[in-house]
Each structure stands twice: as structure tokens, then as C-alpha cells.
């Protein structure tokens, strides 16, 4: 296979049952006070976008997943991640 360049995103979020003080603050102090009562909750997170040279999209995703785990891009005790190819 010919290597290609892929854009891979990593979304880091607090685990679902963990409190999210940043999301709570955005919801209470901005959204609700701004009159957007239709929004019932907010979860904040981080987005990392990486350009990866790999043989396939699956290989690019696997490389980013491996580096995220091995280099502790996130804390697995407190966070979850999603790794996705976007380009």
C-alpha cells in the first residue's frame, strides 16, 4: 500500500459518571443565564487533531490510539477517549 496522510481526531472527555465542573459552569453561568433553557446539560472536553502518515485509515487510527495510551495523552482512570479519522 502507498502511505497517505490522514487527519485523526482524539476527543478526551471525563467519564460519564464523573462531575464536569467546566461543563456545569458553562451551562449554569452562560447558557441558562443567556436564556437558552432548552439546553439541559453540557459536557466539556478536549479535541486533539493530528496529521498522521500511515498505510491506511485503520493504521492511522491505531497509531494514534497506541500513542494516546502509551504516552498518557489522557488519564484512563478519569477520562474516556474517542479516536476518529476525519480526513
pLDDT at 26: 98
| Residue range 13-64, pLDDT digits in tens | 999 999 999 999 999 999 999 999 999 999 999 999 999 999 999 999 999 9
pLDDT of residue 3: 87
Spatial strand order in the sheet of 45-54: 45-54, 4-14, 79-85
Candidate CATH numbers 3.30.1280.10, 3.30.70.2740, 3.40.190.10, 3.40.640.10; the one for domain 4-18+44-85: 3.30.1280.10
What pLDDT is attached to residue 1?
Answer: 57
Q: Residue 87's pLDDT band (boundaries 50, 70, 90)? A: confident
So where are the chain's domains? 4-18+44-85
1 Cβ neighbours under 8 A, 6+ residues apart: 55, 56
Give the pLDDT confidence score for residue 59 in this predicted structure. 98
Amino acid at each position: 500500500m502507498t502511505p497517505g496522510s490522514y487527519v485523526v481526531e482524539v476527543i478526551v472527555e471525563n467519564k460519564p459518571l464523573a462531575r464536569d465542573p467546566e461543563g456545569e459552569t458553562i451551562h449554569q453561568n452562560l447558557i441558562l443565564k443567556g436564556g437558552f433553557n432548552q439546553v439541559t446539560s453540557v459536557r466539556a472536553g478536549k479535541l486533539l487533531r493530528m496529521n498522521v502518515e500511515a498505510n491506511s485509515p485503520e493504521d492511522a487510527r491505531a497509531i494514534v490510539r497506541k500513542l494516546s495510551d502509551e504516552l498518557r495523552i489522557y488519564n484512563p482512570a478519569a477520562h474516556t477517549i474517542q479516536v476518529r479519522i476525519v480526513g
